[in-house]
Structure 1
Amino acid sequence: MSSYLKWLRGHVGHDLLVLPSVTAIITDEDGRVLLAEDVGTGWWTAPGGAIDPGERPADAVLREMREELGVEVEATSILGVFGGSEFVVEYGNGDRVQYVMTVFACRIVDGEPVADGQELARFRFTAPGEHARMPLAPWTRHVLTRIDPGAMEARFDPPALPPT
């Protein structure tokens, strides 16, 4: 947890926070997507995390991949921006967060992935047909059903409110 988030939690306790975040959709040469098992929940997720104050989203996704998987990645495009009830996470300590997530297409440019053991227990590259049988985090399932990792067009959920 960043020092900023610790400070903020000192003021709001466990109440719901809306936070900007990033996620990497890393594909291999066969088009399979890297998913990782979260240490705390056992859910499979696409790796990522919160954006720190003053940090650019593209820098955050590079930092998170370095921290969680020990790899250097190149962010090649934005696949989408998502948020909503599927992106609410309640942590073991009671903290609640709703992430607004910028999803980046990424490719590994240096290193071999190694799960950090603190946030990620393990990882594997998965084909789309495998996702339905995996215990995915709700937000991961939401994102994977809406993006095209090979596309250069960003996706988002349409507005829920009717036009005025």
Structure 2
Amino acid sequence: MGRIEYYYDPDAPKANTLIPASNLLVVDDAGAILLQRRRDTGQWALPGGAQEIGETAAECAIRECQEETGIIAEITGFLGVYTNPHHIVAYTDGEIRQQYENTYIGRPIGGEPAVNDEADGVRFVQPADLDQYDIHPSMRQQIGDYVTGTYPCLG
């Protein structure tokens, strides 16, 4: 399913759904951050996705990380809730979603970086190298909050 992201765009379509989602900002022992390159947008992002019925937001973050990157991780902290009515994601099936994400911090405990049907690139990136990557502003905000120790908790 394809998608188009609108960020502070006055021409963005009106949202018709608000879906809770979770991200996992995984940091290895060397301080590098796990990123995936999304097949649908070509941009680098934290692993994450929509919460499923029957799972907690934290379980969602762990599941999405393993599905999208091959990395098994455990949660070590909570970065914050990121919700922005000016970040709209329009899907080809007609869903138009307002952004809402719980972002956790974690560390890898197993697995190996692996591409899949959602990500065509997976790697750990040092914070000093992040500017070399095409990262959506919403993801850049979350990563930047972690790197600077801002931890907004409520966005």
Q: TM-score range by the shorter chain?
A: 0.7 to 0.9
Superposition deviation, residue 61 in structure 1: 1.2
Give SS of 1:145's match: helix
Cα offset for 1:157?
Answer: 5.4
| Gapped regions of structure 1 (runs ≥ 5) | 2-13, 159-164
Aligned equivalents of 2:153, 2:87: Cα separation in 1: 13
CA contact (8 A) 2:36 2:68 kept: no
Aligned equivalents of 1:129, 1:94: Cα separation in 2: 38
Q: Which residue number in structure 1 is paired with residue 43 of structure 2?
A: 43
Q: Which residue in 1 is equivalent to 2:124?
A: 125
Aligned match of 2:139: 140
Give the aligned partner of residue 106 of structure 1.
Answer: 106
Q: Deviations over 1:110-141 (max 9, x none)?
A: 2112122x111111211223223321122101
SS in 2 for 1:66: helix
- Identical aligned pairs, as a percentage? 28
Counterpart for residue 53 of structure 2: 53
Deviation at 1:71, TM superposition (A): 2.8
Q: Secondary structure at the match of 2:64?
A: helix
Other structure's SS at 1:107 match: strand
2:74 is aligned with 1:74: yes
The equivalent of 2:96 in structure 1 is 96
Find the aligned partners of 1:71 and 1:125 in 2 and give their Cα distance: 11
Please tell me the residue identity of whatever aligns with 1:155: P
- Mapped partners of 2:134, 2:122: distance in 1: 13
Rg: which structure is higher? 1
The two structures, once aligned, show a CA RMSD in angstroms of 2.4
Cα deviation for residue 93 of structure 1 reads 4.4
Residues 9-67 of structure 1: per-residue CA shift (max 9 Å, x gap): xxxxx953111111011112210111111001101101110101232011111211221
Letter in 2 for 1:124: R
The total of aligned residue pairs comes to 143
The structure with more strand, counted as a fraction of residues = 2
1:155 aligns with 2:152: yes
Q: In the alignment, is the contact (CA less than 8 A) between 1:79 and 1:148 conserved in 2?
A: no
Tell me, what secondary structure is at the counterpart of 1:41? coil
Deviations 1:73-105 (A, max 9, x none): 111111111110464222344532123111111
Asked whether the 8 Å contact 1:87–1:138 carries over to 2, the reply is no
Answer yes or no: is the 8 Å Cα contact 2:69–2:115 preserved in 1: yes
The one-letter code of the counterpart of 1:147 is Y
